[in-house]
Structure 1
Amino acid sequence: MATIRKIFKSDLYGLSHNFFALVIAVGLCILPALYAWFNIYANWDPYANTGNIRIAVANLDEGCTDLDGENANMGQEIVEQLKQKDNIGWVFVDSKKDAVDRVKSGDCYAAVVIDPEFSYGLYNALMDNISQPKITYYENEKKNAVATKITDTAVSTLQSTINQSFVKVVTEKIFTRTNDLQASLKDENAVDAFIEKLETVQGYLQDYDKMITSFLAGNELVTKSADDTNKNLAAGQEMIQSGIDSMEDGKQNLKTSKTSFAAFSKKVTQSLNKIQQTINTIDTHISAANLDKQINTLAKDVTIIQEDAKDLSVQLQSLSDYLKTVQGDSKSLENTIDTVNKLQTMADNIADIPGVDENASDAKKTISATQRTLKNYSDTIENINTLFAQQISPQVQGMLDDMADVLESTEGLLQNLSGTLDGMKDIFDGVDTTLGTLNTSLTQLQEVLEQTSGKIGKTLDKLKNASDSEQMDIIMNLLAGDPDTYGDFFSQPVKVNEHYMYEIANYGSGVAPFYTVLAIWVGMTILVSLLKVHVDKKDFPKAKPYQYFFGRYLLFLLLSEIQAMIIVAGNLYIFGVQCKHPGAMFLTAAVTSFTFSILIYALTISFGDIGKALAVVIMVLQIAGSGGTYPIEALPRFFRSVYIFFPFPYAINGMRECIGGMYHQDLTIDLLKLLIFAAAGLFIGLVVRIPFIGLNHFIEKRMEDTKML
């Protein structure tokens, strides 16, 4: 410890007694804070300035006449509403061409063109021919990626506002007509007519209910048929797969057969050649001058011919049986099989030639006959050998090749059929899903019809059992209502109660953890790039490697902690970043600074410039995939898989706990996980570094030789 303290004090003394070094150190402490502050300030509240994002609006609406005979122009009303809003820079133009040109030129990020029959489409819902009102949206996606998302949201909000206005207008008109009907019911015959209309409507509702029941029954049959078909398709798919497997087995067996036949063909040819050679040898011996001395040899040669002929006969019998099995009901191999059978007969005849007795007196009697017989077979064997090589063997080989082609084609057909069945299964699955959705909708509609029919039935019962004055009161209560009240309700029937957990005051406070953590890492990276990590051994010749390591590291730790404290203090007290637990925020920053400093310092002192490059690479990966800006779940699969192996996520989550509020022991858990990376840094610096000391020295010397690095 004493040596470590001496190295640290020496570094502090050298830094504090050199004006330029002290200025650089102060600058290094402030620079990371500037990096964090500029980014936090730039992201403080970007959506407060969306009024500068220009969207062109061209109102081509020609208006229409409503049911009351009044002129209505909903497009103009929308324009007037937009003029009152400053959340978007609405630019009002007179033509579609002008609006589109502004988008193409980049003068506006997007454009909205209101259709000429927009009002007619809205009010037409109360008439006969329904026509959906249209708004055309143009967008310049090249100009800015984020701006297009803002304009999309603005247009979606506009569409929602128009839909609410439409529902409100329609509802007001309906209830206005209902109130008019209420006034007209004061006529004496109007009550009876109203009851008659209710009975008619109830009849319609009951008919619709029966029709839906029929639809549901029909759909059930279709669904059952689709399910049965799916089962059959699955069974067919299994059979096809079994066929494909059989084709594969057949191809493998055929391949084996081709190999076996090639070997067999070679063996037959060798047998024929051997017999021919032996016959020639016998002929030579018989023709010799001293026949008595050749008798023993002749006897052995004849025996060899007999044995070879027997082997050849067995081989030809196997070939004949194989060809008959392959041929089946076909006649294509009939000639080949006949030829093979004749060859076998010849082989049997050769095997049956009489042997030569070793007794000279008896042998001489049979030599002449044996010589003539073998002479006849010699020419035949030569012809047979040619026939086998040029006809039988190629024909069988060609047949095997044809069978291989047939198996290959059949397998391809089965695979195509399998794909077709898969497509059909998808179709029937889609039919099943569609019918299920349709049945759900029809069932819900049927419930509404039954409820409505039931209410009408109860109303009719009340009306039929009531006196004339009571009937009028019942109808008046049924139809009475304020059009404006109903219009407001139906345009926004659902009210959302919003509750925010760990509410963040602004976007800048939300991104502060990410940019703070990033600035701490950047700060330490700058320190190892500008300050030497190695102690001059001449000043401390007896120090051990770990003492050099910790002695110089204490200076880097001190500067890194100062950087972190300046960053956090500026966040809280200059920019006013939201923070519910300031003390915990400073503690989290200190632990983060310690972890990052030991890790980056260890990489640099262990691997030199390569370690610095590794620190930059790790930083780049964490900027993209730490979940600091976008949710980690929204990032590509690679980042979702590796982000847990980097320190950024735990430091960021810890600072979020301080800013938004604590949840149980999450902060403690995050800090403990963060310290694991500090332990990894110590392991690299104290253990891994030792074997690389010589290599790093060599690399540094070679880099110095370039006179550039």
Structure 2
Amino acid sequence: MNAARLALTELRRLTTSRLGKLAVVAMMLVPSLYGGFYLYANKDPYAALDRVPAAVVDEDAGTTLATGEKLAAGDEVARSLLDSGSFDWTRTDRAGAEQGIETGRYDFALIIPASFSADLASSADLEPRQATIELATNDANGYLSTTVANQLVKEVTTSVAEKVSTTAASQILAGFSTIHDRTTKAADGAAKLASGLDDATEGAGDLATGAHSLATGEQKLVDGTATFARGASDLDTGLQTLRNGTSDLPTRTKQLATGARQVADGNKEVASAGKEVAAASDRAVGDLTETRGRLATRLEAAGFSQDEIDRILAVADDVAEPLREANTRIQSTSTQLTQLSDGATKVADGASQLATAASQLKTGIAEAASGSGSLASGARTLQSGQQDALAGAKRLDTGAASLHTGLGTLADGAHELEKGLRDGLRSIPDPSPEQRKAVAQTLGNPIAVDTSSAASAADYGAGLAPFFMSLAIWIGAFVLTTRVRSHSTRAVAAGQPRLRIALGGWLAPAVLGVAQAVLAYLVIIAGVGISTAHPVLLLLFMGLISVTFTAIVNAVVMRFGLVGQFVALVLLVVQLISAGGTFPWQTLPEPLHPLHHVLPMSYAVDGIRRLMYGGSFVHLSLDIGVLLAYWAGAILLGTVAAARLGTWSASRVKPQVTAP
């Protein structure tokens, strides 16, 4: 008889009666009922928090900000809670809230005191006060309600703190904008001041240059006036001498005019005679030219050759050349005599005019000699005044240079002031209203959470499902030991091979366990609505978990009998606390960490998570390997137990622990 026949025999024994069949069906439903109902009840408890009764009390009196704006933060918090629908909020007074918590009408109450807004606004003072929100709870109404209420208060506190921080940041940024605007005006004013000082410096430079030029000019003028004074004195002396020397000038100029006229008349006669001589000379040269032409014609008529004619004419030209040169000199002399005559006439005319003006000149020289004395006196006075003007010009030159230097220093300072203001201006933010709002919101809530997950559970029920599905399969395997025998006594009595006895004892509960797993899978996935990323692989993995757990429980019971059921129950309890199904296993006490790494349910939970949520399959091979190793170990333990079953002892004949 093989292992399959042994398992089939056991299954027939279980289903021989109607009650037996019902018992088998009931055992198969145990994992589905346990896992299904628990996950159904806890699939998404947070979605029903709006049915939890809670009270909110607003005693806030409000306050007025420095800007004149009214602040009623308590009312805003109360209205936001009522509008959120996070709980079944009721707005009441303090007495009603406290009575409701005492009687269980409310699970908790949130009380906003009268100074709430004033305390929040004090963040702008040098002595700020911390605003307070009161939370009234009663653990007799439910401990988890208090835990959730504490979390809610943290969220409200964070939200209010964010708003206060945002408002404060907005006011600070608005102050920065005001500072920026005023600094801009100051920088513009400094730029205008620097520009004006540049112009003033340039003008002062021109003034200093002009003053220096004035001083230089005054020095030259002083030198000139000194020279002028000396010249005026010399002029006076000279004019006096001239007046004395020109006393008989009119008489002499008349004599000169008479002589010049006589010379002009003589030169005129000479010039007239010269013109006549020049005319005669010019006619002689003309006659000579006509005579040369006639001579050439006669010689040609007389039969002379051309060469002979040319030689004769050349000789004639040599003879006539002195006559031509004399004519040229006569013509030039005649012209010069004419010019001499004209010049003599002009001299005579000028002499006549000089004679006429000599009397006036004498009078003018006398007047000039008289005025030169006054001029010399005035020049000396001018020289004295120019000395004073030179001293003033030198003081103006020194003052203008100092002014130019001082204005230059002042302009440099104004430029440095402008540069400093411009540099400081770049360090002062000038956000727009939109930027102020964005920055204030960022400062009020500087951290945002960008969540990414390689795999995620859809809801609270999906988060618990891997643990309770594994737990349900173990419970199902444990329940099977109450009806399915761990081994076939006939096979033991017949001396069947030990491995066959072990496999035959495991195979029957394994078949029922797989049926339990399939049914639990359908109830949890389809009935409760837990989503899964890899449904087929998850079903196969749950089958592996079932055959492994049934092998372990069956081997323990096969080896220890009724005590083995207790051992299986202890293993269940130990795995409940070490599998890490609810909280991360790292949160367990340090002594329990080895249990997590050793016991099979840890790997069952891990494998279901990876197949249900999706993500990497890197650890899935380890999960499968560990479960297969446990299955092989359980079969080995069953084989050893089968060997012991073939040997009767006093403890087997009369066991210390028996079934009731």
Please, what TM-score do these two structures have when normalized by structure 1? 0.56
Which residue of structure 2 lines up, in the alignment, with residue 64 of structure 1?
63
Q: Distance in 1 between matches of 2:494 and 2:465?
A: 45
Which residue of structure 2 lines up, in the alignment, with residue 231 of structure 1?
none
**CA distances 1:457-497 after superposition (whole Å, capped 9, x unpaired):** xxx98861499xx9999899847544434432322233332
The alpha-carbon deviation at position 38 of structure 1 amounts to 1.0
**CA distances 1:293-323 after superposition (whole Å, capped 9, x unpaired):** xxxxxxxxxxxxxxxxxxxxxxxxxxxxxxx
Q: Distance in 2 between matches of 1:695 and 1:642?
A: 34
The alpha-carbon deviation at position 79 of structure 1 amounts to 0.8
Which residue of structure 2 lines up, in the alignment, with residue 111 of structure 1?
109
Tell me the amino acid that sits aligned with residue 124 of structure 1: S
Which residue of structure 2 lines up, in the alignment, with residue 90 of structure 1?
89
Tell me the amino acid that sits aligned with residue 164 of structure 2: F
The answer on 1:555 being equivalent to 2:554 is: no
Which residue of structure 2 lines up, in the alignment, with residue 166 of structure 1?
164
**CA distances 1:135-168 after superposition (whole Å, capped 9, x unpaired):** 2233334543433332221111111000011012
Which residue of structure 1 lines up, in the alignment, with residue 45 of structure 2?
46
The alpha-carbon deviation at position 57 of structure 1 amounts to 2.2
Q: Aligned in 2, Cα 1:616/1:180: closer, same or farther, shift over 3 Å? A: same
**CA distances 1:566-602 after superposition (whole Å, capped 9, x unpaired):** 1123333333322222222122111111111111111
Which residue of structure 2 lines up, in the alignment, with residue 577 of structure 1?
530
Which residue of structure 2 lines up, in the alignment, with residue 36 of structure 1?
35
Q: Distance in 2 between matches of 1:461 and 1:485?
A: 36
Which of the numbers 585, 589, 597 marks the counterpart of 1:644? Answer: 597
Tell me the amino acid that sits aligned with residue 589 of structure 2: P
1:125-524 aligned within 5 A? 125-176=123-174, 464-465=418-419, 478=430, 481-482=433-434, 483-524=436-477
Which of the numbers 620, 630, 637 marks the counterpart of 1:667? Answer: 620
Tell me the amino acid that sits aligned with residue 36 of structure 2: W
- What secondary structure sits across from 1:91 in the alignment? strand
How many percent of aligned residue pairs carry the same amino acid?
Answer: 22
Which residue of structure 2 lines up, in the alignment, with residue 395 of structure 1?
none
Tell me the amino acid that sits aligned with residue 122 of structure 1: L
Q: Distance in 2 between matches of 1:699 and 1:659?
A: 49
Which residue of structure 1 lines up, in the alignment, with residue 20 of structure 2?
21
Q: Distance in 2 between matches of 1:472 and 1:542?
A: 101
Q: Aligned in 2, Cα 1:525/1:538: closer, same or farther, shift over 3 Å? A: closer
The answer on 1:593 being equivalent to 2:593 is: no
Tell me the amino acid that sits aligned with residue 615 of structure 1: A
Q: Aligned in 2, Cα 1:167/1:538: closer, same or farther, shift over 3 Å? A: closer
Q: Aligned in 2, Cα 1:695/1:573: closer, same or farther, shift over 3 Å? A: farther
The alpha-carbon deviation at position 175 of structure 1 amounts to 4.1
Q: Distance in 1 between matches of 2:110 and 2:557?
A: 56
Contact 1:182 1:480 in 2 (8 A): no
The alpha-carbon deviation at position 104 of structure 1 amounts to 4.3
* Cα root mean square deviation, aligned: 3.5
Q: Distance in 2 between matches of 1:680 and 1:696?
A: 28
Q: Distance in 2 between matches of 1:29 and 1:641?
A: 32
Tell me the amino acid that sits aligned with residue 586 of structure 2: E
The alpha-carbon deviation at position 51 of structure 1 amounts to 2.0
Q: Distance in 1 between matches of 2:131 and 2:637?
A: 68
Q: Aligned in 2, Cα 1:464/1:675: closer, same or farther, shift over 3 Å? A: same
Contact 2:60 2:114 in 1 (8 A): yes
- What secondary structure sits across from 2:456 in the alignment? coil
Q: Aligned in 2, Cα 1:63/1:662: closer, same or farther, shift over 3 Å? A: closer
Q: Aligned in 2, Cα 1:697/1:605: closer, same or farther, shift over 3 Å? A: farther
Tell me the amino acid that sits aligned with residue 583 of structure 2: Y
**CA distances 1:619-678 after superposition (whole Å, capped 9, x unpaired):** 011112210111111112232232222110011111111112242431111111112222
* Unpaired runs of at least 5, structure 2: 194-413
Higher mean C-alpha displacement, 601-610 vs 66-75: 66-75
Q: Distance in 1 between matches of 2:475 and 2:594?
A: 24
Contact 2:517 2:546 in 1 (8 A): yes
- What secondary structure sits across from 2:54 in the alignment? strand
Q: Distance in 1 between matches of 2:604 and 2:530?
A: 17
Tell me the amino acid that sits aligned with residue 60 of structure 1: E
Tell me the amino acid that sits aligned with residue 61 of structure 1: D
Contact 1:607 1:689 in 2 (8 A): no
Which residue of structure 2 lines up, in the alignment, with residue 298 of structure 1?
none
Q: Distance in 1 between matches of 2:512 and 2:38?
A: 22
**CA distances 1:337-393 after superposition (whole Å, capped 9, x unpaired):** xxxxxxxxxxxxxxxxxxxxxxxxxxxxxxxxxxxxxxxxxxxxxxxxxxxxxxxxx
The alpha-carbon deviation at position 542 of structure 1 amounts to 5.3
Q: Aligned in 2, Cα 1:546/1:185: closer, same or farther, shift over 3 Å? A: closer
Q: Distance in 1 between matches of 2:651 and 2:9?
A: 24
Contact 1:185 1:191 in 2 (8 A): no
Which of the numbers 547, 550, 571 marks the counterpart of 1:618? Answer: 571
Which residue of structure 1 lines up, in the alignment, with residue 317 of structure 2?
none
Contact 1:535 1:548 in 2 (8 A): yes
Q: Distance in 2 between matches of 1:185 and 1:38?
A: 71
Higher relative contact order (CA 8 A, sep 6+): 2
- What secondary structure sits across from 2:32 in the alignment? helix
Contact 1:74 1:118 in 2 (8 A): yes
Q: Distance in 2 between matches of 1:462 and 1:62?
A: 53
Q: Distance in 2 between matches of 1:117 and 1:575?
A: 49
The alpha-carbon deviation at position 546 of structure 1 amounts to 4.5
Q: Aligned in 2, Cα 1:185/1:3: closer, same or farther, shift over 3 Å? A: closer
The alpha-carbon deviation at position 534 of structure 1 amounts to 4.1
Q: Distance in 1 between matches of 2:178 and 2:419?
A: 26
Which of the numbers 629, 634, 649 marks the counterpart of 2:582? Answer: 629
Contact 1:561 1:593 in 2 (8 A): yes
1:599-614 aligned within 5 A? 599-614=552-567
Which residue of structure 1 lines up, in the alignment, with residue 3 of structure 2?
4
**CA distances 1:422-470 after superposition (whole Å, capped 9, x unpaired):** xxxxxxxxxxxxxxxxxxxxxxxxxxxxxxxxxxxxxx98861499xx9
Q: How many residues in Structure 1 have an aligned counterpart in Structure 2?
A: 437
Higher mean C-alpha displacement, 140-149 vs 693-702: 693-702
Q: Aligned in 2, Cα 1:471/1:623: closer, same or farther, shift over 3 Å? A: closer
Q: Aligned in 2, Cα 1:472/1:38: closer, same or farther, shift over 3 Å? A: closer
Q: Distance in 1 between matches of 2:500 and 2:431?
A: 93
Please, what TM-score do these two structures have when normalized by structure 2? 0.60
